[in-house]
Amino acid sequence: MTPHVVHTRAELRAALDAPPRPGRRAVVMTMGALHEGHLALVRAARERADQVVVTIFVNPLQFGPTEDLARYPRDLAADVALLATAGADVVFAPDVDEVYRGEAVVRVSAGRLGERLEGAHRPGHFDGVLTVVLKLLHLVAPDVAVFGQKDAQQLAAVRRMVHDLDVPVEI
């Protein structure tokens, strides 16, 4: 079934609240350019929840000055077509203003977790990841969030944020 695609916070809220009210809600966060790995996460989310929300947002905060944000691939129609096969109910595809509403002055710090391995040569990358992950968790309000294990440092940082900041979600 084709997922319900929304772009604003208000549309997301309406889609999440639309009857029938689901039991558990899962989120899978992505930056689009979806492939089989993402679809596997959506299927895993489907097994754990009654309503599956996929976010598609290319997050400028996690790109460094030498990384080409503008050239990151974006094809929403192709992504939505793939998600229809994997069982997503709602796709939240906001633009940058909708997410950040101006400058992101306050950010989440990954602390020492963001300074080693990949973070050692991408300063600020994991702060940007955690900031958007926390915002999307607040906006979607899921019971469970499903992340790939391929990016092990990201997963560890998300788990730590959820623990340290008492975010009420299962990872």
Assess 139 for contact with ligand PAF (CB under 6 A).
no
Closest contact distance (angstroms) between CB of 15 and ligand PAF is 19
CA distance linking residue 91 with residue 73, whole number of Å: 17
CA distance linking residue 31 with residue 22, whole number of Å: 25
- Give the sheet arrangement for strand 90-92, strand by strand: 4-6, 90-92, 51-56, 25-30, 144-145
Pick 51 or 154: Cβ nearer ligand PAF: 154
Q: Which of residues 75-104 bind ligand PAF (CB under 6 A)?
A: none
Residue 53 contacts residue 142 (beta carbons within 8 Å):
yes
Which position among 59, 86, 99, 113 is part of the footprint of ligand PAF (CB under 6 A)?
59
Largest CA distance in the chain: 47
Number of H helices, E strands in the chain: 6, 5
Q: Which is catalytic among the residues 38, 121, 138, 163?
A: 38
Q: What is the x/- site pattern for ligand PAF, positions 141-160, by CB under 6 A?
A: ----------x--x------
Closest contact distance (angstroms) between CB of 25 and ligand PAF is 17
Which positions touch ligand PAF (CB under 6 A)?
A: 29-31, 59, 62, 129, 132-133, 151, 154
